Amino acid sequence: MSQICLENIVSVRDVCAEQVIISSSGYDLMDAPEIDIAKINDIANAEYNTGLKILKNCVRLALRDIETDFISVLFANKISAVNNSYDVVTGNFSTKYQNSGLGQKGIVIHKQGRSGIKKIRIKKIRIYPVNDNPNAQLKFIDSGKESVINIALTGGKVNEFATDYFVEGDNVKIVLEGVETYSSELTCLLGCGGTIPNDCGYVKGWNGSAETQKEGFGINAVFSCECDYSQILCQQSKNFVGLLVWLKARIYALEERINSTRINPFIIYGQEEAKNNRIELISEYNSKWNVFIDTIPNIIAGNDDCFECKKSKIVTNV
């Protein structure tokens, strides 16, 4: 799953530097009652040489666990659709005629359906230029944002570039400017290759000012669709998930103290209290987790093709 939207769900601020960080959930690990700011460096080790680094790793581990457990619940309850990801090629090249390099021209890939979870993943871009161009710019225009990849093109042959680009919006425009190209006949229309519409996406051309039906102006793409279930976790960051990450990270922080091989008063004394705190936190975490899982049928969209809602009872995995 993609973690971009989850990266700041729980913060770990540097209190010594009077750092101010506002997490998406409102939780900061430094606010946990068992975190002793004055002694946090006493749990540092060779891998993480400051307490701050250890706590940040605790948040990372907590997030990993929650994502993994969440996916396990979806599959265990047959809510998650089988992600039959397959590659779609937008068209075929032809040398029958050439396109001028005037203006921004290329293709527009549209996501099929209304899924808020499904993401288009552009794996490769293929370009068929007429002439060499060592300083070409390939542009992705996605949700009002423009990303540029500097590329060198060899004329008279198909140039292929690995991109691994995830589209944030419902469509993405992929264009070149000032590059003369051969034709790209688009075959992935509302039905790819003359077939019925696929459930991933379709493509149209872009002539510099409007969409066209069958000409891709020397650009083809290889793309697929993936279900990004982390989007649900992001949407629930303030209701459930932020608290769950905060609790799980605190459990990891206590385990760092309990299992530390360092010899200092902070590690030696208070072991029993730390162990008891850990047990209490695990119990609280499991309780909150089960409440969260019970809400899943109400959270997910019934018409989203990333889900198969066929069961009335949700079984948890903790």
* Token reading at 121: 């993943």
The boundaries of the domain holding residue 124 are 88-227
Please give the pLDDT value at position 290: 92
**For residue 314, is it within any domain?**
no
- 213 CB neighbour count, 10 Å cutoff: 8
- Regarding whether 289 and 208 lie in a shared domain, the answer is no
Q: Which residue, 207, 227, 247, sits at the end of a domain?
A: 227
98, containing H or E segment: strand 91-99
Name the burial class of residue 297, with classes exposed (0-12), middle (13-18) and buried (19+) by CB atoms within 10 angstroms of its CB.
middle
Please give the pLDDT value at position 291: 92
Please give the pLDDT value at position 266: 76
Please give the pLDDT value at position 196: 55
- Regarding whether 181 and 75 lie in a shared domain, the answer is no
pLDDT in tens, the chain (318 residues): 445 668 889 999 887 777 788 888 999 999 999 988 878 777 777 677 787 899 999 999 999 999 989 888 887 776 765 555 688 999 999 998 899 989 999 999 999 877 778 889 999 999 999 999 999 999 999 999 999 999 999 999 999 999 999 998 999 999 999 999 999 999 876 555 555 567 789 999 999 999 998 899 999 999 999 888 888 888 888 889 999 999 999 999 999 888 877 777 777 788 889 999 999 999 999 999 999 988 887 777 555 677 765 543 444 544
CB 146 within 8 A of CB 210: no
* Token reading at 152: 């060198």
- Regarding whether 61 and 36 lie in a shared domain, the answer is yes
Distance between first and last Cα of the chain = 21
- Regarding whether 221 and 111 lie in a shared domain, the answer is yes
CA 44 – CA 42 distance, rounded (Å): 6
Q: Specify the number of domains making up the chain.
A: 2
∠ CA(142), CA(93), CA(102), 5° rounding? 55
- Regarding whether 177 and 134 lie in a shared domain, the answer is yes
Please give the pLDDT value at position 314: 47
Over 194-206, what HEC string results? CCCCCCCEEEEEE
**For residue 266, is it within any domain?**
yes
**For residue 306, is it within any domain?**
no
**For residue 241, is it within any domain?**
yes
**For residue 72, is it within any domain?**
yes
- Regarding whether 221 and 128 lie in a shared domain, the answer is yes
**For residue 34, is it within any domain?**
yes
- Regarding whether 76 and 56 lie in a shared domain, the answer is yes
Residue type, 285: Y
- Regarding whether 119 and 20 lie in a shared domain, the answer is no
- Regarding whether 268 and 182 lie in a shared domain, the answer is no
Please give the pLDDT value at position 41: 75
**For residue 125, is it within any domain?**
yes
- Regarding whether 173 and 150 lie in a shared domain, the answer is yes
Please give the pLDDT value at position 313: 44
- Regarding whether 113 and 52 lie in a shared domain, the answer is no
Please give the pLDDT value at position 312: 38
Pair type for strands 201-206 and 27-28: unpaired
pTM value surpassing 0.85: no
- Regarding whether 220 and 155 lie in a shared domain, the answer is yes
∠ CA(224), CA(216), CA(223), 5° rounding? 5
CA 160 – CA 262 distance, rounded (Å): 53
| Of 151, 176, 118, 155, residue with least CA distance to 2 | 118
Please give the pLDDT value at position 19: 76
CATH number, residue 215: 2.60.120
